[in-house]
Amino acid sequence: MKKVVVTGMGVISPVGNSVDAFTGSIKAGRSGIGQITAFDTSGFDVTIAAEVKDFDAGRWIDGKAARKMARFTQFAASAAAQALGQAGLLHGDTARFAGNPERAGVVLGNGIGGFEVVTESFRKLFDAGPRRMLPLTVPLMIGNEAAGNIALLFGLKGPACTQVTACASGTDALGQALDLIRAGRCDIVVSGGTESCIVPFAIGGFQMLKALSAKYCGEPAKASRPFDSERDGFVMGEAAGILVLESEESAAARGAPPLAEFAGYGAACDAYHITAPDPSGEGGGRAMRLALADAGLAPEDVQYYNAHGTSTPLNDITETRMIKYAFGPHAYRMKVSSIKSMTGHCIAGSGGLEAIACVQAIREGFFPPTINLEHPDPECDLDYVPNAAQYGDVSAAASGSLGFGGHNGVVVFRKHALRN
């Protein structure tokens, strides 16, 4: 079976708009959560989110092209430009793909699409009629346009696909990309997840589900507190995390140093409930076992598990059971943490961000913290790296994502012998 390696990464996130800035923030335990600035929150119970800050897509991609993209697509394209640049796959003069375009694909995860476009076009439709709607409403709003725009911008002519499995979308996209390369259909795939839905409709909808934290709106940095007994819901975030995945042979032929090996993927569905996870933890635990088997690793080979860790009452207890189901006694010996305590829950963007956190943990030998873990939930009794990063050798790391609909996806990364 072909080995697949990571040769480039890119980040747009609430805690930094580059891999280095993102890594520095999660090492420092820095929260990206604050009061919502995207819209007037008067009348909302929830007034906080983890917004991307100081973002200008023109720093990474053509400004004219960016103006024809929804925000989630701008995030993805900007992170893809960073990742392709790090991988050495862009012609400097044209910023086009420096390789065989027919052997290069795109697989992105997205849950919702251009929600701000939908919101604005509905407003115009109801206030002034259809002739006042945004002319590009449809191409801006549909979720596949991030993958399509990345292919268009950089000239990638292989498969361009979008994975939609709610909050597991980014992780499942990476798994689909892994399969494309292993099957020999592509040599290189740009993959990960992207999301931007900090808009009244989304905040209001999740607020009505009682899924969002409302208790800490006066102290936003404390609101996301996975595995803490005082957690009361997740904090909406927005982000893109993009990786360049490449067959080991392709990377070696180019002289591109692997950052890590993408070793395995597993997926399973709870088939239990449309929003709640199966409280037994069997579905997510089975996805973890499948990912370990795909990577050829035993539970004891993994030093770090990046949890989905949303800070909702049900998720954190259930995910703890999933980890115990899959890792057995080793669950108590390895480090587990949730960077959502800092980034918020970036929906499909989370899978890409958290995969990058795993690669960086391997490269730099650290365990990201779970901040705000002040009153541990007795039912969440693993080592969640409370409040401050820890340091040590990481030879293998895994990341799991759970989505509405019972979707569970897990990816596994490990050191590569020739890593840089």
| Residue numbers annotated as active site | 167, 308, 345
Helix axes 145-154, 71-86, angle to 10 degrees: 40
Instruction: Give ∠ CA 145-189-407 in degrees, rounded to 5.
Output: 70
Cα separation, 189 vs 178, whole angstroms: 8
Give burial (CB, 10 Å; 0-12/13-18/19+) of 190.
Answer: buried
Which of these, 216, 400, 203, lies nearest to 310 by C-alpha position?
A: 400
Specify burial of residue 68 (Cβ count, 10 A radius: 0-12, 13-18, 19+).
Answer: middle
Q: What angle do CA 277, 27, 382 make, to 5 degrees?
A: 40
126, burial (CB in 10 Å: exposed 0-12, middle 13-18, buried 19+):
exposed
* C-alpha closest to that of 161 among 409, 183, 153, 150: 150
Q: How far apart are CA 62 and CA 236, in angstroms?
A: 28
d(CA 401, CA 169): 8
The residues pairing with 188 across neighbouring beta strands, listed in sequence order, are 104, 246
Q: Is 339 helix (H, G, I), strand (E, B) or coil?
A: coil
